[in-house]
């Protein structure tokens, strides 16, 4: 249970947490950022919790397909298409599309695009950085991860092993070293 919890945290929360500065840089004031977090985070967390519940229900449904159809159907899209009800198919596909787009845009597109942008902001635009991230994601062929549960587990372990300490360093720097204060002028000063 602890390992599963660590995998979920490393996969879903650490990426957006590490790139919170990228997202919050568009806020006009700290009050606007707080208001966005106050309304956005609980609503989105609740929405993704509902999607997760739908995922758990999907796992239960996959387990029941053996007795219902005579063979186990592991593809949720195929399972939804076998239901035979157009409304159920539409709701099932909308749920899968929303969950896929929601997590992939936040965790797998915006973050790498900003990271590439920070490497050379004068030469590469955000749009170009997004294309670099897109091409890189196709070259990495993440869909091959689904062929091996062990590979998914090891990938998330390695991701958590690298991102977890970075997040810890950021927290320690902000709370212990800087005592919760940031000098904005020092952020834009190139002197040592």
Domain edges within the chain: 2-187
- pLDDT for res 183: 81
Does position 29 have pLDDT exceeding 80, yes or no?
yes
Q: What is the pLDDT of residues 94-112, one digit of tens each?
A: 877 776 776 666 666 777 7
Alpha-carbon separation of residue 104 from 63, 97, 112, 116 (angstroms): 27, 10, 11, 17
**Residue 6: which pLDDT band, with cuts at 50, 70 and 90?**
low
Contact between 19 and 111 under an 8 Å Cβ cutoff? The reply is: yes
pLDDT at 48: 62
pLDDT score for 11: 62
Q: What is the pLDDT of residue 127?
A: 79
What's the rounded Cα separation, in Å, for the pair 9 and 5?
Answer: 6
Crossing angle between the packed helical segments 76-83 and 30-69, to the nearest 10 degrees = 60
Q: What is the pLDDT of residues 124-161, one digit of tens each?
A: 777 788 788 778 877 877 777 767 778 777 877 787 78
pLDDT single digits (tens) 51-89:
555 555 566 666 777 777 777 777 766 777 777 777 877
pTM for the structure as a whole: 0.44
**pLDDT at residue 59, as a whole number:** 63
**CA 111 to CA 18: how far, in whole Å?**
9
The pLDDT score that the predictor gives to residue 87 is: 82
For residue 139, what are its two tokens?
């070259």
Query: What is the structure's pLDDT at 1?
Result: 66
């Amino acid at each position: 249970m602890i390992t599963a919890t660590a995998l979920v945290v490393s996969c879903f929360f650490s990426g957006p947490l590490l790139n919170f500065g990228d997202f919050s840089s568009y806020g006009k004031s700290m009050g606007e950022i707080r208001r966005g977090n106050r309304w956005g985070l609980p609503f989105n967390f609740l929405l993704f919790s509902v999607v997760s519940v739908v995922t758990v229900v999907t796992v239960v449904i996959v387990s029941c397909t053996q007795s219902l159809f005579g063979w186990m159907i592991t593809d949720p899209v195929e399972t939804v298409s076998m239901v035979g009800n157009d409304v159920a198919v539409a709701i099932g596909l909308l749920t899968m599309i929303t969950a896929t787009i929601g997590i992939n845009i936040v965790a797998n597109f915006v973050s790498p695009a900003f990271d590439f942008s920070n490497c050379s902001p004068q030469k590469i635009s955000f749009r170009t950085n997004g294309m670099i991230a897109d091409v890189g994601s196709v070259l990495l062929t993440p869909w091959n991860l689904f062929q091996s549960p062990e590979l998914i587990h090891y990938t998330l372990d390695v991701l958590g092993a690298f991102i977890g300490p970075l997040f810890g360093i950021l927290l320690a720097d902000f709370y212990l070293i800087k005592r919760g204060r940031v000098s904005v002028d020092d952020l834009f000063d190139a002197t040592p």
